[in-house]
Amino acid sequence: MFAEARKTKTPRSPYSSSQVSHQHMITDSAPLSVNADAGPPCGDSDEQHIHWVSRAAFPLISAAMILSQVALGFAVFHGWYWLAVPLVLVTSHFMHGLLIGFHEASHGLLRKNKLLNEIDGVLAGVLSFMSFTLYRAAHQKHHMYLATERDEELWPFVNVDSPRWVRRLVAFIELNAGLAFTPFLFWRMFFRKNSFVRARKVRRRIWGEFFLIIATWAAILSAVAHFQVWSYFLWIFFAPGYIAGNLQSWRKYIEHVGLSGHTAKSATRSIIADTWSGRLLSLTLLHEPFHGVHHIKAGLPHTELPLHANLLQPSIVGEVAPFPNYRSAFKHLWAQLPDPRAGSHWPDKAALPDSPTASTP
């Protein structure tokens, strides 16, 4: 099944797995450094390691999710809740991988066949309460206007007029109820006054997908109610879907929130794994951890992102070095969450916690 897997070598992150820094950026006065208690950087620029890639990743993730759901249903049927709970977590991870496939489809990169790519995108969108066409239109704006006030995927964190309490509230809701908030965020873009989605053809298709979502979920919930299988629905779909929605939100925040840049490398956190488990995680997330590469070369399919990991190395002031794992990137994000924002247009950006000046003792 992994016969198509390829081994690619990329430069290691300049930090080991245990190293975290609020000064994870190039500065004017000093080379890239870490906090005093983190220890010295490991390795050198010539050190290499292998990443795992496979064109079969998305079909395998889809199959793994279905198998985990079948196993979950079997566990619930027999009342083996000690097994159902970990299976919910496993299923939620694979659901998260499918959401990344939805993103890949929006770039036209999930399938070589355009029709199949559209079908997969619409299907994934319907099951997650999203319009594929709306997401594609909004995501294009995200790439064009990354971390600026026109980047509505990062609303309200790019709006300098939004009070801190509003941004905190939105962050709390999105990070704890992503399954509901993410669709709200995108439908808000469509229904709000002066929406950027103006083309009649595009709006008609979005309306069509909107009614398809309503009809599909009306049918699903009617069937669940008719056959009285609410417990199976809650365990097999809702619980892992709820967790997957939150994983999606946390990953989005790790990628962009709390950074004071507006370019691919200054407004994005990327992860270059330095362990086998990190490389496996990257594979099952369709190499989304190489997010900076995706913003630099948006036309690359997920199998090629690790090949360009060298592009993530900082070259100018303000660019963020890649992290060795999600744990260290999460710690960097966590320090910024008390005042969540994104972009270089904030008038007091120099006071952000991740600023070298602010974090230097």
Tens of pLDDT, residue by residue over 167-202, are 999 999 999 999 999 999 999 999 999 999 999 999
Q: How many domains does the chain have?
A: 1
Instruction: Kindly state whether residue 27 falls inside one of the protein's structural domains.
Output: no
Residue 341 carries which side chain, given as an amino acid letter? R
Residue 240: pLDDT over 90: yes
Instruction: Kindly state whether residue 56 falls inside one of the protein's structural domains.
Output: yes
Handedness of CA 42, 44, 50, 53 (dihedral sign): positive
Q: Sorting pLDDT into bands at 50, 70 and 90, what band is 349? A: low
User: What's the CA gap between 171 and 258, in Å, rounded?
Assistant: 12
Instruction: Kindly state whether residue 233 falls inside one of the protein's structural domains.
Output: yes
User: Which has the higher per-residue pLDDT, 48 or 309?
Assistant: 309
Q: What percent of the chain has pLDDT over 70?
A: 83
Residue 124 in tokens? 């994934």
Domain of 112 in residue numbering reads as 52-361
Going by C-alpha positions, the residue among 162, 208, 153 that lies closest to residue 181 is 153
State mean pLDDT over 149-177.
97
- Which residues does residue 6 pair with via DSSP β-bridges, in sequence order? 53
Instruction: Kindly state whether residue 30 falls inside one of the protein's structural domains.
Output: no
Residue 2: pLDDT over 60: no
CB 306 within 8 A of CB 290: yes
Residue 266 in tokens? 């200054």
CB 257 within 8 A of CB 157: yes
pTM for the whole thing? 0.85
User: What's the CA gap between 110 and 119, in Å, rounded?
Assistant: 11
Residue 292: pLDDT over 80: yes
State mean pLDDT over 224-236.
97
Q: CA torsion, points 153, 155, 159, 164, in degrees to nearest 10?
A: -140
Instruction: Kindly state whether residue 133 falls inside one of the protein's structural domains.
Output: yes
Q: Sorting pLDDT into bands at 50, 70 and 90, what band is 47? A: very low
Residue 10's alpha-carbon distances to 33, 46, 169, 271, in angstroms, are 21, 10, 39, 12
DSSP 269: -
Residue 352: pLDDT over 60: no
**Average pLDDT taken over every residue of the chain:** 86
Instruction: Kindly state whether residue 220 falls inside one of the protein's structural domains.
Output: yes
Instruction: Kindly state whether residue 29 falls inside one of the protein's structural domains.
Output: no
Residue 288: pLDDT over 90: yes
Instruction: Kindly state whether residue 19 falls inside one of the protein's structural domains.
Output: no
Q: What percent of the chain has pLDDT over 90?
A: 79
Residue 46 in tokens? 């010539």
